[in-house]
Structure 1
Amino acid sequence: MRTSQKITGIVATIGLDIGENTFHLVGFDQRAAIILQQKVSRSQLERRVANTPRCLIGMEACSGSHHIGRRLAEIGHDVRLIPAQYVKPFLKGHKNDYRDAEAIAEAVQRPTMHFVTIKTPEQMDLLALHRVRSRLVGRRTGVINQIRSFLIERGITVRQGPMPLRKALSEILGSDTGALSPRMVGLIADLAQDWRRLDERIAAVSAEIEALAEQDHSCQRLMTVPGVGPIISSAVVAAIGNGTGFKQGRDFGAWLGLVPKQESTGDRTILGKISKRGNKYLRTLFVQAAHVVLERRPSAAMRGLWPGAEQASKRLHRNMLAIALANKLARIAWAVLARGGTYQPRITHAA
């Protein structure tokens, strides 16, 4: 352990720059003067912080930060995670590890700073399952697109969607029209087998997610929202827990990137396309849920959401309507989580 500056006062705030094996600490006193600069290893971190009086510790929200945050909070410190993009404005001069830690210590003291709620081990397990499922779905989409591209190069087109392609493959591979060479038939057959294996893995991971959702009370309450099933409810719980990291549902919708991007100056307010900020995976799920509600019109949506959506459909394109409804569903989901109830549709009448 190396100390580059002697500690002359009581540390009130620590900025912690996380590395794979080494960590850099910068400590401020009550006047925000630097009184501590240290580099410690992973094994030394907890012992070093345990010998420090209770203080405010800031870290960037990144890989491994939630685990470290939980361990330091167990020692008794006030640990807060900051999105990396909110730390960058506080960085002075050229980038190095100590200056990163100093910028984190500056940022964590700001009264208007937005923080990331530290996730529990159960949330991290759910999040890991969703990440694996997302990767498998992406690989399956790549296999399907590759099969389509090989077929269209031979002049064979199939109706859009995975199900029509699956049904057509058996006929295409079994026919002897000469459109496909024997080598190409074998190659597409191997890709179809990869597709089936990916389907099996996705089904297994989805079943595990659904089993966990059935045991979680928060997921059960979220599933009372129209269009929200086990996948979306568990993804929301894994991402935001009980929703206390947001002051209101509008903040959650903005975090998902489901609100217009604002570029205003002076007295001009310009609203553009949706910002697409935040959690892309969760935003995609809510948009898919909105399309399901618009197509299937479940009874809960018909009682509370459909009158307003029907009025909006007269002036909005279907895709814009789906985004607006996805934002509405996200705000309802936050309210269900944060207020501890279930979805209660309000009966509204079209104007």
Structure 2
Amino acid sequence: MSQKLDASPAVIGIDIGKNSFHIIGQNQRGGIVLRQKWSRGQVETRLANLPPCLIGMEACVGAHHLSRKLQTLGHDARLMPAKYVRPYSKGQKNDFRDAEAIAEAVQRPTMKFVATKTADQLDLQALHRVRERLVGQRTGVINHIRAFLLERGIAVRQGLRSLRSELPGILATRTDVLSPRMLRIIEDLAGDWRRLDERIEDLSSEIEALARQDKGCERLMTVPGIGPIISSAMVAAIGTGDVFSKGRDFGAWLGLVPKQISTGDRTILGKISRRGNRYLRALFVQAAWVVLVKVKGWERYGLKSWIEAAKKRLHHNVLAIALANKLARIAWAVLNKGRAFECVNTEETASRAA
């Protein structure tokens, strides 16, 4: 019986590639009993013939799909950030060594895992990725237009709306400094801008419609400053938030807390760590600025008192980050506990520093 247990893998590490997968299997004693290279089509078939075991993978492209498939086969599939796997690699780097490091890392009791995303989460995340790319392209087009106008001595006020409203008049009246070729170039860029606006609007409408249909997103939208874009991005990123034990962990994962470099009895805190999901962190910071601009509208939530107290000791940029962290922690609690945000006692809420 002991020989059979030693011969069958209890833990498997998979190094995912585009067309080939490198497999390392360890028995209950940690010995390597499986060391093979499989094609993409062989992975599910061969793992279906093995008894249920713990399977580790790095959270990379295609990992969420494979994790869901392996879970349906009865395996305990877990995903890990690649940076947490790297310390377990020994010797020279190759695919089998990477798979062995994954098998070692997945057994660690203190390992931080990545929740497997559902197909709906991946679809929603894809919408946000495309929208983010289009917004970046639109910013590039606008910067091109501004730069070309400045080269001709034409300065436009800051803000997207200012440029949009003034550009037609500039193209019609400033032919004294704008050559026919430059007019054509800027008109083409303005056309690109309009097309990007239309695509961004279509994607935003689709995301908003999906957010209205999701119960988690609806609860998140009860939090001040959070609308369809932020709520759907958060659900796409963390699902129900079960991977975090408390809101403070979620705020730290987003990189909204100071970077700590402490030793001995000295506690040294620096700038925010900026780790985790950059896109979601930026959205929460934007939400914080919205609340700061319209702080009077959030009096019933106790935020005004908290903000007024924080203003006395924090720079306005630091205050925005602190408020973003506060909103992120509230949002995690709303999402994870399954209850809409309510503030029963504003005075009590204002006295808390969360």
TM-score interval for Structure 1 and Structure 2 normalised by the shorter chain: over 0.9
1:125 aligned to which of 123, 126, 134: 123
- Give the corresponding residue for 1:297: 295
1:69/1:80 contact within 8 Å kept: yes
- Give the corresponding residue for 1:3: none
- Give the corresponding residue for 2:346: 347
Q: CA deviation at 1:303?
A: 2.8
1-structure distance, mates of 2:46, 2:11? 14
- Give the corresponding residue for 2:84: 86
- Give the corresponding residue for 2:161: 163
Query: Pairwise mapping of residues 113-192 of structure 1 onto structure 2 (< 5 A)?
Result: 113-192=111-190
| Number of matched pairs | 346
- Give the corresponding residue for 2:271: 273
2:21 aligned to which of 16, 20, 23: 23
The 1:269/1:332 distance shift into structure 2, 3 A limit, reads: same
- Give the corresponding residue for 2:32: 34
1-structure distance, mates of 2:270, 2:172? 50
Q: CA deviation at 1:306?
A: 1.7
| Deviates further, 228-237 or 296-305 | 296-305
Query: Pairwise mapping of residues 55-94 of structure 1 onto structure 2 (< 5 A)?
Result: 55-94=53-92
Alignment of 1:337 with 2:331, yes or no, is no
Q: TM-score, normalised by structure 1?
A: 0.96
1:293/1:301 contact within 8 Å kept: no
The 1:247/1:153 distance shift into structure 2, 3 A limit, reads: same
2-structure distance, mates of 1:298, 1:243? 30
Helix, strand or coil for the counterpart of 2:7?
coil
Q: CA deviation at 1:299?
A: 3.5
The one-letter code of the counterpart of 2:172 is G
The one-letter code of the counterpart of 1:251 is D
Q: TM-score, normalised by structure 2?
A: 0.95
The one-letter code of the counterpart of 1:13 is V
Helix, strand or coil for the counterpart of 1:348?
helix
- Give the corresponding residue for 2:109: 111
Q: CA deviation at 1:298?
A: 6.0
The 1:301/1:245 distance shift into structure 2, 3 A limit, reads: farther
What stretches of structure 1 of length at least 5 have no aligned partner? 1-6
1:16/1:104 contact within 8 Å kept: yes
The one-letter code of the counterpart of 2:37 is K
Q: CA deviation at 1:282?
A: 0.3
2-structure distance, mates of 1:290, 1:49? 47
Q: CA deviation at 1:167?
A: 1.0
1:323 aligned to which of 321, 324, 327: 321
The alignment-based identity, stated in percent, is 66
The one-letter code of the counterpart of 2:50 is T
2:212 aligned to which of 193, 211, 214: 214
1:60/1:81 contact within 8 Å kept: yes
The one-letter code of the counterpart of 1:143 is V
Q: CA deviation at 1:339?
A: 0.6
- Give the corresponding residue for 1:50: 48
Helix, strand or coil for the counterpart of 1:36?
strand
Deviations for 1:226-283, whole angstroms, at most 9, x for unmatched residues?
A: 0000000000000000000101111111111100011111111110010110100000
2-structure distance, mates of 1:215, 1:303? 25
2-structure distance, mates of 1:304, 1:136? 37
Deviations for 1:200-242, whole angstroms, at most 9, x for unmatched residues?
A: 0000000000010011000000000000000000000000000
- Give the corresponding residue for 1:4: none
The one-letter code of the counterpart of 1:182 is P
The one-letter code of the counterpart of 2:278 is K
Q: CA deviation at 1:304?
A: 2.0
1-structure distance, mates of 2:158, 2:172? 21
- Give the corresponding residue for 1:226: 224
What stretches of structure 2 of length at least 5 have no aligned partner? none
| Deviates further, 178-187 or 299-308 | 299-308
Q: CA deviation at 1:180?
A: 1.1
Q: CA deviation at 1:301?
A: 5.3
